[in-house]
Amino acid sequence: MLWTDKYRPKRFEDVAGNAKQKKIIQTWVEKWKNNEPQPPLLLIGSAGTGKTTIAHIIADEFSEYIELNASDKRSHDLLMSTIGESANTYSLFGNNRKLIIMDEVDGIHGTNDRGGTKALNKIIKESKQPIVMMANDFYSNKLTTIKKNAQVIKMDKIKSPTINKYLRDVVLKNEGIEVDPEVLKKLAKRSSGDLRSSINTLQALVENGGELTEEALDSTSQKDNTSTIFDTVTRVLKSKNPEHVKRSMFENNEDPTLVMEYIAENIPREYESNKEIKKAYEMISNADLYFGRTRSSQYYGYWKYASDFMGVGVSISKKETYRKYSKVMGPMAFSLMGRTRGKRALREAIATKMEEKMHVSLLVAYTIFPYFEIMFENDEVAWEISDFLELEDDEIKFFRKKKIPKKVITKMENIKAEMREEEKEEWRNSIKEGIFREIPPQDLEKVGDEPIVEEAVVEPDAHNSTIVDIFDDFDDDELDEIAIEYSGAKSKTKLRKEDSKASKKKKDDEEKLDKGQTTLFSF
């Protein structure tokens, strides 16, 4: 059993550290019990400061509780259905409050948890039930709204003497283990205010008769053996020792292409000589080449070369280690992509419309954009093209800042309507003239003889010869309708945008279309 669970305090008095905070929380609980609703509680603090422990102690004070954490997929709907409901329900028995616990609320993820933060804020505002939330990062912008509507409790890191005392008087005493007090002090210090990790380290070292020595402690290094991406980047840029660099690359568990992006980003931020930048980037280029070759050949043996190019290769590209502190930056290209996501989605939506209506690929469509920008300066041309591509307002705004003036829209719509009228006239005439005579009857019969697969083409007994006469029975309005239906239907023939799931719908559409035709024949 994990000691962290075994020795998790059950009462507020037993929780280590954060004395002031504990008092506030206790008052919060008492008030709820006296039927005085309180704002939700938001516990913010780094790992191992007692947030989860306190949440569970609070939970014991209430008759019921539900819990969610970041690993749950908290989409809007999910949050509303599981929590939203209980947040608004009064229990029949006045005092039986249902506590809601939410861990890692700053971990609600933008895309995966679509609307999650929004739903959460709504619940916080409307809830009639006690809520306890936990978060790690005080400055996370996901917390801005939550913070306004909650009682914020900032949990301090546990001081090392407190950790030391807890390990000695609670854990070791109970386990009946004696250790070197000096080494224990060190362990407490190294855990940098994280009580949970200190207990885990202790358990790993001394359980089953192990001895707590300084060497053993050193071997566990810090919390674990993996180096963060920032450690690795710093090592590559600062060190000139291939052994250290290789080890750091090896200990890093991140996606190596991401590590490469980080290193590349920071090369010109650390190296000052252009000669060094040039050489280092050549190494990056080679690393990337081998990542590409890995992808195309699916031979992962190439990775090790890539790792050496971007690790040792970049590290030896400098003449001397720079004696300065430079902050390691995340890849700017990624943040640029994030910032411009909306704009890029818009761009792609427009290009997709061009793809359909102008028979061009997306790549070709983008090459036309600069010309559209020029054309869109002209109100009428802007309207023409927008109308042709069926652009939405925000898509029009992509090419021009100003809206198309109402006057121009009205004018152009009138011109278009006139054109349509002329077309319809021609269409009516062409029907009356009998363009359907062009289909020889025997052709239709031939299709009819074959077993018809999926598509109803023409009724075998279609009265082909009389089709034209039949149109004489329709008045102009009805012919208009037929004309419009036919012209509207034709743009649906393209099948480009379906994935396999949607393809059934497409088939249906197509069938409808073909039936539409059948109607034309079999009046």
* Interacting residue with other proteins among 21, 120, 355, 464 (CB under 8 A): 355
Contacts to other proteins from residues 2-41, by CB under 8 A = none
Nearer to other proteins, 92 or 363 (CB): 363
User: Contact 179/69 with Cβ under 8 angstroms?
Assistant: no
Rounded to a whole number of angstroms, the minimum distance from the CB of residue 426 to other proteins is: 5
Task: Kindly indicate which of the ranges 132-140, 194-202, 368-376, 462-470 contains the residues binding other proteins, using the contact rule CB under 8 A.
Answer: 368-376
- Contacts (Cβ under 8 Å, ≥6 apart) of 208: none
* Torsion angle in degrees (nearest 10) through CA of 7, 13, 15, 21: 160
CB burial of 21-45 (b: ≥16 within 10 Å; e: otherwise) equals bbeebbebbeebeeeeeebbbbbbb
332 binds other proteins (CB under 8 A): yes
CA distance 464 to 444: 8
395 binds other proteins (CB under 8 A): no
* Interacting residue with other proteins among 2, 19, 24, 336 (CB under 8 A): 336
Closest CA to 259 of 290, 282, 231, 301: 231
Task: Kindly indicate which of the ranges 134-142, 160-168, 231-239, 352-360 contains the residues binding other proteins, using the contact rule CB under 8 A.
Answer: 352-360
Contacts to other proteins from residues 257-316, by CB under 8 A = 257, 260-261, 264, 268, 274-275, 277-278, 280-282, 284-285, 288-289, 291-293, 295-296
Between helix 503-521 and helix 476-490 the angle, nearest 10°, is 150
Burial environment of residue 314 by CB neighbours within 10 A (0 to 12, 13 to 18, 19 or more): buried
* Count of residues engaged in binding other proteins, rule: CB under 8 A: 95
- Contacts (Cβ under 8 Å, ≥6 apart) of 386: 395, 396, 404
Task: Kindly indicate which of the ranges 36-44, 173-181, 463-471, 495-503 contains the residues binding other proteins, using the contact rule CB under 8 A.
Answer: 495-503
Contacts to other proteins from residues 408-447, by CB under 8 A = 412, 415-416, 419, 423-424, 426-427, 430, 438-439, 443, 447
CA distance 270 to 97: 57
Rounded to a whole number of angstroms, the minimum distance from the CB of residue 188 to other proteins is: 44
* Interacting residue with other proteins among 343, 402, 505, 512 (CB under 8 A): 343
Task: Kindly indicate which of the ranges 54-62, 89-97, 121-129, 355-363 contains the residues binding other proteins, using the contact rule CB under 8 A.
Answer: 355-363
Ranges of H-type helices in 207-273 = 214-219, 229-238, 242-251, 256-270
Nearer to other proteins, 152 or 381 (CB): 381
Half-sphere exposure of 461 (CA within 13 A, CB side): 0
Rounded to a whole number of angstroms, the minimum distance from the CB of residue 203 to other proteins is: 44
**Quick count: other Cβ atoms within 10 Å of Cβ 451?**
4
CB burial of 329-350 (b: ≥16 within 10 Å; e: otherwise) equals eebeeeeeeeeeeeeeebbeeb
* Interacting residue with other proteins among 215, 453, 465, 473 (CB under 8 A): 453
381 binds other proteins (CB under 8 A): yes
363 binds other proteins (CB under 8 A): yes
* Interacting residue with other proteins among 24, 204, 329, 337 (CB under 8 A): 337
